[in-house]
Structure 1
Amino acid sequence: MDLPTMLDADTQELTASWSGTVTPYVVGDPGRAATAVVERLARDAPDHHGTVLDGAVVRPDDEAPWTHVRGASVRGLRHRQDGVVRQDEYCFRQTADDRYLVVAVADGVSAGSLSHEAAGVAARFGCEIVGDWLGQCEVSELPWEHVLKTLSDLVVQRGRAVLRRRRVSVDDWSEGAFGEALATTLVLAVVDLRPDDGSYRVEVVRVGDSSAWVHGAAGGWRSLHGLKNDSEVIASSATAALPQVTSFESESYRVAAGDLLVLMTDGVSDPLGDGDGDFGRFLSEVWATPPSVTAFGAQVDFARKTFDDDRTAVAVWLG
């Protein structure tokens, strides 16, 4: 066999040993920024990743159906261009007895210099604290006001620690100053992984405009809180934030087996709108079944003109 023939054979063998591609998702007009933005490092937070994603399957026992979970948080185009840290965060965990899945999504308020720290504390410790409480009480007895007060204290503690590490004196910082620097929204859900009569109990608490949505197995998106700015109550909730919690919403829902529960920041909910547009149809199609973890991250990192905020979503496919 001469050399060219040998090289062709080797190339064919190597090419045949792998397959696949990564193609960015585009919904409608992506705008120029989707390809023109040069991603810059967030120099003030080099240890804070620009993109995080995760996935798992969980169930409370061998008799219950599997529940699939996917999570992703990506830095928006505006923050990539400006070298600003991702200010969203998420977390999910199963309780020690495997009975419940606790999910949290937080969105640091853009004007807050340490809001990414606040979002991280709210999401991670929110899941941990609620998980611990569920070892002591029923879902209906969860002390949400106490939980949010504890989270607020932890957010301020984190802020103090970060500022001291930066050699910033915090002795004259007022409560309002901490509130501005560390402001974050939070939406947290507790999912009972044991279905009852064809549906799952879901408890949701919410501070600010991060939201929870359900996509029915038959199609269609439904916000569990009403649409953003659809009423005076919903519009005013957008101003609420940890660590200065002036108001919060908590409600119990029944979500049908086979439905999809999604917690998201407004980087996803704003383009979703009322769920009837092309972006809603896009999510309906790509999330009809649980995608791979990497595909889910790419879907959250969609390109669409004018929507350049950080995006975070945790999706839970129920039974």
Structure 2
Amino acid sequence: MTGTEVAWARHPNGRWIVGDAGNQPSVVAVPPVLVRRRPDVTLDGGRVGMLDYRAASLRGIGHLETGRPRQDSYVVTVTRDDHWLVGCVADGVSDGRMSHRAADLACEKLAAELIDGLAAGPDADLGTLDWAAGVAGVNAAIHREFLHTAKVEEAALADVRALMSTTAVAFAVATQADADGTHRAVVASLAGDSAALILDGDGWRPVTAVKGDGEEVASNAVRPLPREVEPEPVTLTLRPGDVLAVITDGIGDPMGSGGGVVGRFLAEQWAEPPDTIEFANQVGFYRKTFMDDRTVIAVWVAPEPT
């Protein structure tokens, strides 16, 4: 980048541009074909305990211009005692025309499993959460939906995945700090290429494997649900001022491990919790070649009092 180039700026229409926008600002949205009651954009934001959170899911440029529905999904909620913020993001695999429903079901089932598993409140043991039961619940729910949609009595998982399959990554964060000032958390990437990263004073660091590294073309190979998997959850502690971002590959592909221009842009914008609507605008930045749906749940831990 030369001294006269600007890494990111506002387009005249108000959207952010990060690098080269290409022709994306000229795309005219086409309504999704044969998919009703599925908005192009969903948003959430709030504060619980010592955490602020924002969540956004946007239909990507590629789907806007072709009439495909948004295939990403998320759930963000709290446990019954408000001691844990739990969530999931999922990316329905593009080839399956019902993959948006697989993504919805994955998030619904995994969030419900986490809520049940964290019923002990502050005494809950993150190491004993039954992730296998969560995966089994997702597999069963997608299988049932496939049988209903296809009007058949049985089907192999490979046949189910051809119509509806999804990535999934789920998490839980304690809404109150432990005695040492940190917040217990767990993240599990259960299938595919959705990911999680932490933003701290040193920049972004991946919690799970991240797809690509900000390159122009990234591999699209995934191993989605429904299938048998052995979850490998990561337990961690979040310090005051940390930000946990759980993302689908619509953000993960241009962001990589967070060291490039997209990572720098988001680090600047998310130094503090933004307005919820502005958060969606930040997630929906223009960047040439990156046209997939984008979904992020970001969690801010309150900084230490000054």
In structure 2, the CA distance between the partners of 1:188 and 1:172, relative to structure 1 (3 Å rule), is: closer
- TM-score, normalised with respect to structure 2: 0.87
- TM-score, normalised with respect to structure 1: 0.83
The reply to whether residue 193 of structure 1 matches residue 175 of structure 2 is: yes
Question: Residues 62-141 of structure 1 correspond to what in structure 2 (within 5 A)?
Answer: 66-135=50-119, 138-141=125-128
- What is the number of equivalent residue pairs in this alignment? 282
In structure 2, the CA distance between the partners of 1:302 and 1:245, relative to structure 1 (3 Å rule), is: farther
The reply to whether residue 51 of structure 1 matches residue 35 of structure 2 is: no
- Give the structure 2 partner of residue 208 of structure 1: 192
Alpha-carbon distance in 2 for matches of 1:173, 1:267: 30
Q: Which of 283, 286, 296 pairs up with 1:303?
A: 286
1:228-266 Cα distance to aligned partner (Å, 9 max, x none): 368xxxx99963221113343211111212100000001
Contact kept? 1:237, 1:247, Cα under 8 Å: no
Question: Residues 150-161 of structure 1 correspond to what in structure 2 (within 5 A)?
Answer: 150-161=137-148
Alpha-carbon distance in 1 for matches of 2:219, 2:256: 18
- Give the structure 2 partner of residue 6 of structure 1: none
- Give the structure 2 partner of residue 42 of structure 1: 32
Contact kept? 2:251, 2:295, Cα under 8 Å: yes
1:112-132 Cα distance to aligned partner (Å, 9 max, x none): 121100000111221122102
1:248-295 Cα distance to aligned partner (Å, 9 max, x none): 321111121210000000100111122122111110111111111100
Q: Which runs of 5+ in 2 are unaligned?
A: 1-11
Question: Residues 24-39 of structure 1 correspond to what in structure 2 (within 5 A)?
Answer: 24-32=15-23, 34-39=24-29
Q: Which is richer in helix?
A: 1
Alpha-carbon distance in 2 for matches of 1:100, 1:87: 27
Following superposition, the deviation at residue 146 of structure 1 comes to 1.3
Contact kept? 2:192, 2:224, Cα under 8 Å: yes
Q: Which runs of 5+ in 1 are unaligned?
A: 1-20, 60-65
Contact kept? 2:109, 2:137, Cα under 8 Å: no
Which is worse superposed, 280-289 or 198-207? 198-207
Q: Which of 273, 280, 289 pairs up with 1:290?
A: 273
- Give the structure 2 partner of residue 254 of structure 1: 237
Following superposition, the deviation at residue 226 of structure 1 comes to 3.8
Q: Name the SS for the 2:104 alignment partner.
A: helix
- Give the structure 2 partner of residue 23 of structure 1: 14
Alpha-carbon distance in 1 for matches of 2:219, 2:257: 19
Q: Which of 164, 179, 184 pairs up with 1:182?
A: 164
In structure 2, the CA distance between the partners of 1:22 and 1:237, relative to structure 1 (3 Å rule), is: closer
Root mean square deviation, CA, Å = 2.1
Q: Which has the larger radius of gyration?
A: 1
Alpha-carbon distance in 2 for matches of 1:229, 1:55: 28
Contact kept? 1:208, 1:248, Cα under 8 Å: no
Contact kept? 1:214, 1:223, Cα under 8 Å: yes
Contact kept? 1:211, 1:265, Cα under 8 Å: yes
Q: Name the SS for the 1:30 alignment partner.
A: coil
What's the % identity of the aligned pairs? Answer: 36
